[in-house]
Chains A and B, each alone.
Chain A
Amino acid sequence: AQRVTQPEKLLSVFKGAPVELKCNYSYSGSPELFWYVQYSRQRLQLLLRHISRESIKGFTADLNKGETSFHLKKPFAQEEDSAMYYCALRTKTSYDKVIFGPGTSLSVIP
């Protein structure tokens, strides 16, 4: 079954500390993974996608097919990183669809 899991519902880190938001997926095909972010009182928006292999706002994510993971990392957390983060998987069957994980609420403590 196609599934996205984010084991941490809540994650608190101190400002300046490294942060890692975990994402694991279950999918037999070739995955395409995304991270979406929702800041307080803002719309849910795309943060990054694995095929771009880019760093956005200091965040990076590497797709590990062996571990079926797509963890989101940032070396030094900032207060403005506090938000809800969703990992999403694009599946390709007879037609594409996107499956979202349950989300992780990141709180950066000043």
Chain B
Amino acid sequence: KAGVTQTPRYLIKTRGQQVTLSCSPISGHRSVSWYQQTPGQGLQFLFEYFSETQRNKGNFPGRFSGRQFSNSRSEMNVSTLELGDSALYLCASSVGSGDIQYFGAGTRLSVL
């Protein structure tokens, strides 16, 4: 069974640009959650999608948005990038909300 796949693995952007990250969950998983991981703040929850609906949202500005498609694949978008957005963005999928989460390898975003 293929694991959670995140693309791209690395991204370099400049301030003010926007970026889209992609996550393909494990087959059969309907819940996808996104996290931002930084050395200073640790693992911070961004949002969770279940059956194309946003179920939960963390304490991040509106520049961070996401969506989920009918095949459970999810995208995360960050607009007007700031230097502080540099981080490892992790996607996790689970069968349902609150179930064991399986994490992807992450997308490392560097904002210059």
Q: Which residues of A contact B (CB under 8 A)?
A: 32, 34, 36, 43-46, 49, 86, 90-92, 95-100, 102-103
The answer, yes or no, to whether B110 is at the interface (CB within 8 Å) is: no
The answer, yes or no, to whether B15 is at the interface (CB within 8 Å) is: no
Q: In the complex, A68→B98 CA distance in Å?
A: 19
Contact call A49/B42, Cβ cutoff below 8 A: no
Q: In the complex, A90→B33 CA distance in Å?
A: 14
The answer, yes or no, to whether B97 is at the interface (CB within 8 Å) is: yes
Among A49, A91, A96, residue most surrounded by chain B Cβ atoms (within 10 Å): A96
The answer, yes or no, to whether B32 is at the interface (CB within 8 Å) is: no
Residues of A within 8 A of B42 (CB): 86, 100, 102-103
Q: B55 is contacted by which of A32, A44, A46, A95 (Cβ under 8 Å)? A: A95
Given known pairs A46-B100, A46-B101, A92-B98, the reply for A98 and B90 (CB within 8 Å) is: no
Contact call B43/A86, Cβ cutoff below 8 A: yes
Nearest chain A residue, comparing its CB with the CB of B4: A43
Q: In the complex, A91→B48 CA distance in Å?
A: 14
Nearest chain A residue, comparing its CB with the CB of B35: A100
Contact call A43/B48, Cβ cutoff below 8 A: no
Residues of A within 8 A of B92 (CB): 44
The answer, yes or no, to whether B45 is at the interface (CB within 8 Å) is: yes
14 residue pairs from A and B, CB less than 8 Å apart: A32-B98, A45-B102, A45-B103, A46-B101, A46-B102, A86-B43, A96-B97, A97-B56, A97-B98, A98-B98, A100-B35, A100-B43, A100-B45, A103-B43
